[in-house]
Amino acid sequence: MQHLHHLYIDGRWVSPETPRLVDLINPATEAVFATFAPSDVGDVNRAIAAARQAFGAYAQTTRRERLDLLRAIVDRYRRRTDDLVEAALLEMGAPLTLARERQVPAGLIHLQQSIKSLETYQFDTVLGSTLITREPIGVCGLITPWNWPLLQIACKVGPALAAGCTMILKPSELAPASASIFAEILHEAGVPPGVFNLIQCDGPTVGQALVSHPDVDMVSFTGSTHTGIVVAKAAADTLKRVHQELGGKSPNILLDDASFATAVRHGAYACFANSGQSCDAPTRLLVPAHRQPEAAAIAKSIAEELVVGEPRSLLTTLGPVANKAQFARVQSTHPRKTAGSGLARRWDRG
């Protein structure tokens, strides 16, 4: 996390145009563990200009050159595992086992999948008498969330590199440390200047400037439905392609002939994983009315197995939610069915 006070633009670590620092809070302790330097609109424009300048050359690279680059990134990613785990512990409060076994490996899996896809991808196909050539779309604006930061960064950056695109990554302001280390990994792997650029932010201004810019050809956004609507509107005037993965509530429907001992157990674990902060968490369990008591009893037993504690302890299986706003949102979901502070017993913070 040595570059949290810098942005990564055109192959160099640079200072933001407007110098200021924002505190980063460890959600497990509610203490400041670092500060980061956010971007402003001028920094966004610099990053886009660098990506546009680099696109011509990078789009002409061969499949072999891109494969070599992605393999170098995977190698450096593996070497930085401990640093990435530490970032997940600090900025997410993720339990050590979750960080080491799921959060960090999730990013690696997506990078490896990008390699696998590129190895066999057909850029040229013949349809009748027509040759169809798939070309890189151009400069991509990548906006990622805080709940699975490395997974989301890797599953956007990896395919963009494989396709021959250049890009600007804007991670969540709640997870800048993971993104900064990821940028270090790409720099160490030899990504050409301007191909990958990192901007940080602490509000909507930077994202708005990124998605509305005429030199950005495509936007990939993962986040809330509300923000997705804003992104789509901002991108509409320049007719850029927009790909979105938006939030929602996932139903888990069990029919009468299901094995409840297995299905409810799997569903409950999937809900509690990552402190419930997953877009695919099956948070609405729908069962036949006459089997509701059985399902509730099984889910209750799973909840009682969870261990809330210090994230660095190997015994801890459930960490905090990511921030105070998220905590308040959870507390307001069922106000009539909860009581007390909402904190686990024996804990006065986190």
Catalytic residue among 17, 30, 188, 279: 279
245 catalytic, yes or no?
Answer: yes
* Contact (CB, 8 A) for 111 and 145: no
Residues 6+ away with beta carbon under 8 Å from 174: 91, 146, 322, 323
Q: For residue 163, give the H/E element and its range.
A: helix 149-163
Q: For residue 212, give the H/E element and its range.
A: helix 204-212
Residues 6+ away with beta carbon under 8 Å from 128: none
173 catalytic, yes or no?
Answer: no
* Contact (CB, 8 A) for 207 and 143: yes
* DSSP H stretches of helix in 22-62: 41-58
| Distance, CA of 199 to CA of 213 (rounded, Å) | 15
DSSP state of 325: H
Catalytic residue among 245, 271, 304, 310: 245
* Contact (CB, 8 A) for 77 and 111: yes
State the helix-helix crossing angle for 81-92 and 63-79, rounded to 10 degrees. 70
> Residue-wise over 122-160: b if at least 16 C-beta within 10 A, else e?
eeeeeeeeeeeeeebbbbbbbbbbbbbbbbbbbbbbbbb
Looking at the chain, how many residues does it have?
350
Give catalytic residues, as residue numbers.
245, 279
